């Protein structure tokens, strides 16, 4: 008997694409300084490999219940197709929520420092404010032209607006998470933000709006608006200085980014074309960690 290939009711709307990539046209030799950064977040684990401080390959995967395994999985994926082995690395830095559980790392560095550094690498020295929207927290980071952290603010007490919160909302509205941003913009007029942002109450809140005859798009727009307001407030409190960029999984949510731009009245630096050959803003932390790894290796060589 043949099993049905897909069961409609079991579509996982929260699931996003896990992938890996090797930058085309780059070669390495054993003389190069090969480093890696492994960013184990609460929702996704990212690993980036750098050759002499230049991005070479990366892997992005979902964090499982076991942090060391997730770290290994991400790094194995970044290694795939590169011909590199673990022993080729001069230095590895772990970062993120699970940074102390990265078994192959020589050192752990906070994700705040890594995101500022990584954003500086992706967008260049004009970056001064980084909004990092992670799976479990939201950080607004101020940095200088070298990517060093000047100050930061963080909200890690509430799921509203985080990647995890968005996953719950995607499931609730039965919209694939990667389309949530586009769909939230499909409204003729922007509705007012939802008053209650608690993810646990989102169901009740959404049901109430549906009863009022609101469309899915409108409900999503109101919710996304409320999330963008929260993030804009955090940026405001840390003190916005241009240029502004967004990192983390939610950087891919155009609904969030475009609303933050409207609320704050500034444009973010353009998103790299990560689907084709650009760097992925989701790996900013891992890239920053790989850069710290290079600096730490060079420092150790000098002494």
Partner 1 sequence: MITVGMDLGTQRVKAVILKNDTVVSRGQAFSGFDPTKAAEQAVGEALKKANLKISDVAYFVATGSAMEMAPYANSTVSMMGADAKAGVHIFPKARTIIDVGAEEARAVKCDKKGVMVDFVVNERCAAGAGAFIEAMARALEVKLEEMGPLSLKAERASPINASCVIFGESDVVSLIHRQESKPEIARAVFDAMADRISSMVHRLGVNPDVVLVGGVAKDVGFVASLKRKLGVDVLIPEFPDFAGALGAALAAASRAKEGQK
Binds partner 1 (CB under 8 A): choice among 198, 242, 273, 277: 198
| Nearer residue to partner 1 within complex by CB, 42 or 95 | 42
- 149 class by beta-carbon count within 10 Å (0-12 exposed, 13-18 middle, 19+ buried): middle
User: Distance between CA atoms of 86 and 98, rounded to whole angstroms?
Assistant: 20
Establish if 30 lies at the interface with partner 1 (CB under 8 A): no
Q: If binding is defined by CB under 8 A, does position 68 make contact with partner 1?
A: no
Least distance from C-beta 202 to partner 1, angstroms?
9
Does 157 engage in binding with partner 1 (CB under 8 A)? yes
- Contact between 31 and partner 1 by CB under 8 A: the answer reads no
- Only segment of 45-53, 82-90, 111-119, 195-203 that touches partner 1 (CB under 8 A): 195-203
Question: What separation in angstroms does the CA of 7 have from each of 3, 168, 247?
Answer: 10, 20, 34
Q: How many CB atoms lie within 10 A of CB 247?
A: 30
Smallest distance, Å, CB 200 to partner 1?
3
> Are the CB atoms for 48 and 286 separated by under 8 Å?
yes
Q: CA–CA separation, 58 vs 19, rounded Å?
A: 8
Pick one of 73, 115, 164, 218: the residue that binds partner 1 (CB under 8 A). Answer: 164
Q: Which is nearer to partner 1, 156 or 182 (CB)?
A: 156
Q: Is the peptide bond prior to 243 cis by the omega test (within 30 degrees of 0)? A: yes
CB 16 within 8 A of CB 28: no
Give the nearer residue to partner 1 in terms of CB position, either 105 or 166: 166
# of chain residues touching partner 1 (CB under 8 A): 15
Interface ranges with partner 1 (CB under 8 A): 65, 136, 157-159, 164-165, 168, 196-201, 204
């Amino acid at each position: 008997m043949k099993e049905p290939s897909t069961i409609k009711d079991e579509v996982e709307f929260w699931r996003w694409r896990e992938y890996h990539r090797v930058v085309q046209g780059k070669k390495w030799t054993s003389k190069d300084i090969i480093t890696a950064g492994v960013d184990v977040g609460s929702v996704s684990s990212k690993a980036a490999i750098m050759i002499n401080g230049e991005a070479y390959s990366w892997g992005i995967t979902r964090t499982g219940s076991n942090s060391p395994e997730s770290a290994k999985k991400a790094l194995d994926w970044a290694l795939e197709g590169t011909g590199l082995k673990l022993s080729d690395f001069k230095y590895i830095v772990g970062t993120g929520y699970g940074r102390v559980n990265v078994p192959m790392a020589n050192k752990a560095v906070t994700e705040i420092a890594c995101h500022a550094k990584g954003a500086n690498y992706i967008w260049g020295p004009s970056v001064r404010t980084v909004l990092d929207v992670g799976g479990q927290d939201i950080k607004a980071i101020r940095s200088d032209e070298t990517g060093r952290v000047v100050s930061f603010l963080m909200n890690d007490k509430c799921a509203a607006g985080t990647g995890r919160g968005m996953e719950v909302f995607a499931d609730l509205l039965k919209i694939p998470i990667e389309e949530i941003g586009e769909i939230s913009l499909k409204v003729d007029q922007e509705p007012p933000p939802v008053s209650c942002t608690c993810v646990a109450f989102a169901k009740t809140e959404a049901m109430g709006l549906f009863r009022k005859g609101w469309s899915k798009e409108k409900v999503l727009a109101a919710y996304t608006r409320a999330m963008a307001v929260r993030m804009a407030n955090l940026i405001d409190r840390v003190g916005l200085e241009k240029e502004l960029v967004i990192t983390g999984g939610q950087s891919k949510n155009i609904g969030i980014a475009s609303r933050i731009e409207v609320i704050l009245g500034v444009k973010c630096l353009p998103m790299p074309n990560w689907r084709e050959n650009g760097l992925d803003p989701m790996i900013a932390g891992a890239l920053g960690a790989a850069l710290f790894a290079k600096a730490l290796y060079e420092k150790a060589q000098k002494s």
